[in-house]
Structure 1
Amino acid sequence: MHHHLCKNCDHTFEGNFCSNCGQKTNTIRLNWHFVKDELQYTFLHINKGFLFSVKELLTRPGDTVREFLEGKRVKHYKPILLVFVLAGLNGLLSQNIDYKGFMPKNDTKNIVANEMPKMMNWIFSHYAIIELTLLPLFSVCSWLAFKKYGYNYIENIIINCFASAQRLTFGLITIPLMYLIDTKYLLTFSSLISIPVYAVTIWLYLQLYKKHELGNVILRLLLFGFLATVVFFGAILIACFIFLYYLVKTGQLEIN
């Protein structure tokens, strides 16, 4: 068989792929044919991976997460990348939502209230960062709550990546409605929508651990919910402190 010299790592090998780094033997010149192949691969990868994972999370979330953890992964989009993509889409589609409708108007003394819409817009436009920042913390909570069921901490990160992706998918579905609702009802609507959004996470966990005793799973879910709530509001307090510190530092707020 003919020997090839890898153009990437200079390794000598036989066959169609380098045995050292995996690069193809046939590296064609970059042209329109190359662009066409790349676009076809990208579309097929999204269609077979991204859309498949989203469909599974909408129809059989817990079962598909369990199968992924057990090794059935070839059809799935990478979980962490899935969160990035969905969070990015959420941020992109929701960045023009007007949050000023439920804020005090023409109140020059209330600096915090006047600056709050900017903070909320920042949160939505950087939602991928926020989701991925909280994921390791929520995963500690789920690992502690469901420790006896055998999944390690890293596996809990993957579980929560899928749970986050599921919530973000339902969030994408509701974003068009937020543009249609009067801004003064936007906060109420967002609060009501959060109930079914987090209910689907409960559905995922109940299905994931359906082989265990239901009562025990529910108790562990309550513990997980309590721990996650403490973490979430702790993060909110820290964010508010940083926000107030920024206002003081920039001279927009004076402390007497």
Structure 2
Amino acid sequence: MLPETPMETCPNCSVPLNEDFRYCPACGQTTYLHRFNLGHIGHEAFHALTHADKGILHLLKNLTLRPGLVAREYILEGKRKRYFNPFTFLVIVLGLSVFVNSVFKPYERNISPQSPQTETHGTAPTAAELRKERSRNVSHFLDKRANLVAFAAIPLFALAFWLFFRRSGVNYAEHLVANVFFAGYFQLFATVITLVLSLFNRYLSTLNEQQLLFQLIYLPIAYYQFMGLGRWTGYLKSLLATLLALAVWIAFSTSIISLYIGWGR
């Protein structure tokens, strides 16, 4: 239980504290701690969302208006305290995405319902029936495991951008963190558009096309800013890099899906 009197040592790392310390000199934790109550929880939640310097709403606003500059400041300029942690942001968004997809099942709703079949006791299913069943399995997987798909896509996108800009001095890990920022925002867009289309039950069949269009618009702008490119030729390079990244991901994902549908079990 937290003491009511000033703490002599940091409860987080046990470093000795002076009475005038507002923060621990070793780990940075505040020395003004108190027991949790409902009012404190509400204040902390509101503060985490709206904090002017590093709240999640602050990050969302900047990822909307200046996505590449956010990544550049955080990754290349070392302004880490200014923004909400991108990995935490991605995990939160992916959790929301999995929940929405699990409820509305946008991919399963896009496949035709299984036609009634006559009973064929002892008869093995045909190759066409097996492929249809595997297609349904793929749709079910996409609805239930959108987080795994996103985690698989991010390293491939980062690899494509790193290869394209390999002479820039930005290493692969830095491209990876940048794509965590951009993937988090993209997944939030995908979640919102999935929710809207599912509620109105219209144009759900165009979900993939709308997501692709968003990436074709958002990623070139984001990377144009992140790489500090100038003039229209810089934007063209960013667009070409985006096309390369999308081509790598589409080729990889469609190959895996096609192999499973054609020859999986």
Fold conserved (TM > 0.5)?
Answer: yes
Shift of 1:142: 0.6
Alignment map for 1:1-256 (pairs within 5 Å): 4-14=8-18, 15-22=21-28, 25=31, 28=34, 30=35, 32=37, 35-48=38-51, 49-69=55-75, 70-95=77-102, 96-98=104-106, 99-103=108-112, 105-106=114-115, 109=125, 110-179=129-198, 180-182=200-202, 186-187=204-205, 189-198=206-215, 199-209=217-227, 211-219=229-237, 221-241=239-259, 248=265
SS class of match (2:151): helix
Q: Which residue of 2 aligns with 1:252?
A: none
Q: What residue ranges of structure 1 are gaps of 5+ in the alignment? A: 249-256
User: How far apart, CA to CA, are the structure 1 residues paired with 2:241 and 2:32?
Assistant: 55
| Length, aligned pairs only | 240
CA contact (8 A) 1:83 1:164 kept: yes
Q: 1:213 to 1:92 in 2, by over 3 A?
A: same
Name the aligned partner's letter for residue 250 of structure 2: F
User: How far apart, CA to CA, are the structure 1 residues paired with 2:113 and 2:7?
Assistant: 74
TM-score, length-normalised on structure 1?
0.76
User: Matched residues, percent identical?
Assistant: 20
Q: 1:77 to 1:121 in 2, by over 3 A?
A: farther
Q: Which runs of at least 4 in structure 1 moved beyond 6 Å after TM superposition? A: none
User: How far apart, CA to CA, are the structure 2 residues paired with 1:145 and 1:240?
Assistant: 27
TM-score, length-normalised on structure 2?
0.74
Q: 1:26 to 1:116 in 2, by over 3 A?
A: same
Q: 1:104 to 1:37 in 2, by over 3 A?
A: closer
User: How far apart, CA to CA, are the structure 1 residues paired with 2:248 and 2:47?
Assistant: 41
Name the aligned partner's letter for residue 68 of structure 2: G
Which has the higher mean CA deviation after the structures are superposed, 11-20 or 73-82?
Answer: 11-20
Name the aligned partner's letter for residue 168 of structure 1: Q
Question: Residue by residue, what CA displacement relative to the aligned partner does 1:110-156 show, whole Å, maximum 9, x if unpaired?
Answer: 23323434432322332222212221221111111112233222221
Name the aligned partner's letter for residue 181 of structure 1: N
User: How far apart, CA to CA, are the structure 2 residues paired with 1:244 and 1:41?
Assistant: 51
SS class of match (1:71): coil
Q: What residue ranges of structure 2 are gaps of 5+ in the alignment? A: 1-5, 118-124
Shift of 1:166: 2.5
Q: 1:226 to 1:55 in 2, by over 3 A?
A: same
